[in-house]
Structure 1
Amino acid sequence: MRLTLTEFLSLDGVVQGPGGPEEDPSDGFSHGGWSYPYADEDFGRLVTGWFERADAFLLGRRTYDIFAGFWPDQRDPADPVASRLNTLPKYVASTTLRDPSWAHTSVLADDVPARVAELKSRPGRELQIHGSGTLARSLLAHDLIDEVRLLFHPVVLGAGHRLFAAGTRPTALRLTDTATTASGVVLHVYEPAGRPSYGSFIADAA
């Protein structure tokens, strides 16, 4: 399976609490729900198309708890997101989760990069990460993520947890696709391309 990452971001890189005020108010974050005004039909088509490719999900503990508090109650079999989240395998990176109640959930409690590499070796289409910024940064550092889908929303928040926080491993990315929704969300799809390369404009001009 290919390991893909999908993230909703503000223009200043915040990924915290996009879905609602109660989603993640940690560290005093008061801007929860910032992605909601931009969830138009174009946005829905993009997200639905990705969920249709999923054969399993990989989530960090916080994102898992958010999803588990909502999606099990969405029981419409025609809902392409709910039907997949509720029926496909879900893997949670956590050292504290013991008995998950959401069906088809398995816990990855130790050596997460090795466990993820093993999951990727299994047949299938996509093992998908949604949100889960801390887990995503760790797996990028281990060169395990095959595709990064970043949906930049036209809003600046000035506070909140960021996907590429200080200390993120330097990584070059290759743009493979882009799209824009009617509400102004800009999608960039990337493949990791190793470590960055460097040069000097001053040296070129000499």
Structure 2
Amino acid sequence: MTSRLVVSAFVSLDGVMQAPGGPGEDDDNGFKHGGWLAPHVDEGFNRIMGDQLDRADGMLLGRRSYDILSSYWPHVSDEDGGAEINSMPKYVATRSPMTAEWRNTEVLAGEAAQTVADLKRRTDGEIITQGSSDLIRTLQRAELVDEYRLMVFPVVLGEGKRMFAEGALPAGLKLTGCTTTDAGVVYMTYAWTGDPLYSSVA
């Protein structure tokens, strides 16, 4: 029994993943570009997101992303699209014990490298992340990520929290899928293959 951990993320062309959903979502370090995703949402975007949720057997969140999503989704009716995400098993990785009031949420208290490794061992299927940039960097360093699903948006932000920040663990990836929405969002899927390969063009 082992789950596959999939990092699902929205990123700008220069790799920023901070505050895609709206102003005020994450203003850390004076970030003023919140809401850069919304102008590019179209039918293709919704179809990709729907497919990801359909395939997922659980969702893993950092504490901040949990607070953002749990303030919204429990109040969305089944008819308006809340059924799937509200009924899905959810896991929140946090260093401090907490009470999770969002339905079907389990708290993973402790160091994420250990608690998420244990989660993968004791569950089956596919667990996806949403947001959670700090958590993702921990998972990368612990080599717990099996696949990346990146939606790259046609916008350059110049600052903000990045998917692959300085100090990210080097990794080899294999492109397993690529498609583009009418709004110009490029959706790419990559499988983790281990260490990078090196050679010379000479």
TM-score (norm 1): 0.91
Tell me which amino acid in the other structure corresponds to 1:89.
Answer: P
C-alpha RMSD of matched pairs (Å)? 1.5
Taking the aligned partners of 1:106 and 1:61, their CA distance within structure 2 comes to: 12
Shift of 1:75: 1.5
Work out the percentage of aligned pairs sharing the same amino acid. 46
Name the residue aligned to 2:56: 54
Taking the aligned partners of 1:49 and 1:128, their CA distance within structure 2 comes to: 12
In structure 1, the gaps of 5 or more residues are none
Shift of 1:123: 4.9
Decide whether aligned partners of structure 1 residues 194 and 34 sit closer, same or farther in structure 2, where only a CA change above 3 A counts. same
Secondary structure of 2:78's match? Answer: coil
Shift of 1:124: 3.5
In structure 2, the gaps of 5 or more residues are none
Decide whether aligned partners of structure 1 residues 111 and 161 sit closer, same or farther in structure 2, where only a CA change above 3 A counts. closer
Taking the aligned partners of 2:200 and 2:101, their CA distance within structure 1 comes to: 55
Taking the aligned partners of 2:174 and 2:59, their CA distance within structure 1 comes to: 24
Shift of 1:171: 0.9
The structure number with the bigger radius of gyration is 1
Secondary structure of 2:187's match? Answer: strand
Taking the aligned partners of 1:75 and 1:50, their CA distance within structure 2 comes to: 20
Name the residue aligned to 1:133: 133
Name the residue aligned to 2:38: 36
Name the residue aligned to 2:196: 196
Moved more, 114-123 or 190-199: 114-123
Decide whether aligned partners of structure 1 residues 123 and 107 sit closer, same or farther in structure 2, where only a CA change above 3 A counts. closer
Shift of 1:89: 1.7
Tell me which amino acid in the other structure corresponds to 1:121.
Answer: R
Moved more, 122-131 or 53-62: 122-131
Secondary structure of 2:74's match? Answer: helix
For these two proteins, the number of residue pairs brought into alignment is 200
Q: Do the aligned partners of 2:112 and 2:135 also contact (CA within 8 Å) in 1?
A: no
Q: Do the aligned partners of 1:54 and 1:84 also contact (CA within 8 Å) in 2?
A: no
